[in-house]
Structure 1
Amino acid sequence: MVKKRTWASIYLFCVFVVLYLPIFYLMFYSFNKAGTMTHFTGFTLDWYKEVFSDKRLIVIVIDTVIVALLSSVISTALGVVGALAVYSTKRRSAKNALLSLNNILMVSPDVIIGASFLILFTLIGIKLGFVSVLLAHIAFSVPIVVLMVLPKLQEMSPTFIDAARDLGARRRDVLLKVVLPFITPGIFAGFFMALTYSLDDFAVTFFVTGNGFSTLSVEIYSRARQGISMSVNALSTLIFLITLAIVLVYYFFSNGIGKAKSYSGGRRV
């Protein structure tokens, strides 16, 4: 048993090294004064100053954040409705069909999804830009929210709803005062997942962006194609730190909700 745990720990350590070593390598050389990724000659913040002094890049950052927040809020609302629809479906075959349709976007390659959206927007006359990127991000974020919320609904005992109805609660009251408070952790999990997916997405966004509109992932790709630049490293480092901050906020927030639910009336249940 001890040997199995030791090997499991070694395996996890190797996985984390493979995943994070390139990121830390990139972050380290974002402070390189020489401007190369071969020899570190001295510490400097010039590359970060270059990022913050780039007005076009600042606009792109703002656009990226706006798209991420809007798509996350809208997809969270739609995803909650979708999860409730799947949960309330009584026929098993219909429920499985809805889940299969929901999971199509999760398992389909991003290139196919992006190309499909590009064809769709071209056919219906939507100009490529802010609107097309926002719609695409909402579309691929909704299934993520559904998968985050649905397990919380399945954990909820039907007796909660029955008890609320026996006490005279209307459907609206049951939804607002019983169901939504219970699935709140799943809702926030879906929101933060949608937010990180939107900030990180490149493949789908690359197909549907245009008219001078861009996001950080597409901009980093465009700059990286022009050659190695420490400003790209600095920008990538900032994105990684922002994503890490979002994960930590969600972690502490979810722990706070868990601790709050473990108490009732000032005492532990």
Structure 2
Amino acid sequence: MKRKWKFSHLYLFFVFFILYAPIFYLMYYSFNSGGNMREFEGFTLDWYKEVFQDTRLLIIVLNTLIIALLSSVISTIIGVIGALAIVYVKRRRVQNTLLTFNNVLIVSPDVIIGASFLILFTIIGVKLGFISVLLAHIAFSVPIVVIMVLPKLQEMSPTLLDAARDLGASRFEVLSKVVLPFIRPGIFAGFFMALTYSLDDFAVTFFVTGNGFSTLSVEIYSLARRGVSLKINALSTLIFMFTVLIVIGYYFISQRYSNKVKGVATGK
């Protein structure tokens, strides 16, 4: 048992090393004064200064954050409503059909989704830009939110709802004071997953973005095609750190909520 435990730790360390080594390699050379990724000549913050001095790039960062936040909020609202609708459908066959349609969007290749949205927007006359990117991000984020919220709804005991109705609660009060507080961890998880998916999406965004509007993923791809610049490393490092902060924020929010629930359960 002792050997297996040590081997499992070694295996996990190897897996995480393979996953994170390229990221740390990129971050390391973002501080290189040499201007290349072959030899580290000296420490500098010039590449980060270039990022913050590039007005166009800062506008693209702002566009990306606005798209990510708006699409996450809207998709979370729609996803919660969709999860509630799936759970409260009485017919099992209809429920399975809805779940299948939801899962198809998750497993579909991003290239297919992006091309489909491009054709759709072209047919209905939606101009490619902010609106098209926002609608596409909402569309691929909603199924993620549904998947995150559904398990919490399925965990909820029907006796909670019956007790609330017996005490005279209306349908709205049951939803707002019983159901939503119970599934709050799933809602937070869905929101943060939608946010991270929106921030790093490239394939779908590449198809539906237009002239005069871009997001970070598309811009980094364009910069990389022109040649390797350590400005890309600096920008990628900042994005990675921002993503880490989101994950840490979600962890503390979930921990705080779970501690609150335990306190209520124990009467503290």
Q: 2: CA distance between counterparts of 1:7 and 1:266?
A: 39
Partner of 2:253: 253
Q: Does 1:235 align with 2:227?
A: no
> In the TM superposition, what is the alpha-carbon distance from 1:162 to its structure 2 partner?
0.5
Q: After TM superposition, give the deviation of residue 7 of structure 1 in Å.
A: 2.0
Cα distance per residue 1:39-85 (max 9 Å; x no partner):
00000000000000000001000010000000000000000000000
Distance in 1 (alpha carbons) for counterparts of 2:20 and 2:243: 14
* Separation of aligned partners in 2, 1:150 and 1:3: 39
Shift of 1:212: 1.0
Could you say which residue in structure 1 is the equivalent of 2:189?
A: 189
Distance 1:157 1:59 in 2: 47
Deviation at 1:266, TM superposition (A): 7.4
Structure 2 residues not aligned, in runs of 5+: none
Which secondary structure state, in structure 1, belongs to the residue aligned with residue 38 of structure 2?
Answer: coil
TM-score normalized by structure 2? 0.98
State the AA in 1 paired with 2:84: L
How far apart are residue 265 of structure 1 and its match? 7.9
The CA deviation at 1:4 is 2.3
Rate the CA distance shift 1:213–1:230 in 2: closer, same or farther, 3 A.
same
**What's the counterpart of residue 130 of structure 1?**
130
**Equivalent residue of 2:126, what SS?**
coil
Distance of 2:59 and 2:83 partners within structure 1: 35
Aligned AA (1:80): V
Amino acid across the alignment from 2:108: S
1:245 aligned partner, one-letter code: L
- Does residue 166 (structure 1) correspond to residue 169 (structure 2)? The answer is no
Judged with a 3 Å threshold, the aligned counterparts in structure 2 of structure 1 residues 265 and 100 are, in CA distance, closer, same or farther, namely closer
What residue is the counterpart of 2:105 in the other structure? 105
Find the counterpart in structure 2 of residue 178 from structure 1.
178
Whole-Å separation in 2 of the counterparts to 1:251 and 1:184: 14
Q: Does 1:120 align with 2:120?
A: yes
Q: Distance in 2 between matches of 1:5 and 1:171?
A: 51
Percent of residue pairs identical: 70
TM-score by length of 1: 0.98
Q: Which moved more, 1:213-222 or 1:89-98?
A: 89-98
- Please tell me the residue identity of whatever aligns with 2:138: I
Q: How far apart are residue 3 of structure 1 and its match?
A: 2.4
Q: Which residue of 2 aligns with 1:210?
A: 210
Cα deviation 1:8-49 (Å, max 9, x = unaligned): 212111110010000000000000000100000000000000
CA distance in 2, matches of 1:265, 1:121: 51
Correspondence for 1:32: 32
Please state how far the C-alpha of 1:125 moved relative to its aligned partner: 0.4
> How much has 1:145 moved relative to structure 2?
0.3
CA distance in 1, matches of 2:8, 2:82: 38
Displacement of 1:239 in angstroms is: 0.4
* SS at structure 2 position matched to 1:127: coil
Give 2:13's aligned amino acid: F
In structure 2, what residue type is equivalent to 1:196? Answer: T
Report the secondary structure of 2:43's partner residue. coil
How far did residue 220 of structure 1 move?
0.3
Describe the superposition over 1:180-222 as per-residue Cα deviations: whole angstroms up to 9, x where unpaired.
0100111011001000000010000000000210000000000
Q: Could you say which residue in structure 2 is the equivalent of 1:10?
A: 10
* Unaligned ranges ≥5, structure 1: none
User: 1:93 aligns to what?
Assistant: 93
Match status 1:151 vs 2:160: no
Say whether residues 1:49 and 2:42 are aligned partners.
no
Cα deviations by residue, 1:218-254 (Å, 9 ceiling, x for unpaired)? 0000000111100000000000000010000001110
Matched, 1:200 2:207: no
Number of corresponding residues = 268
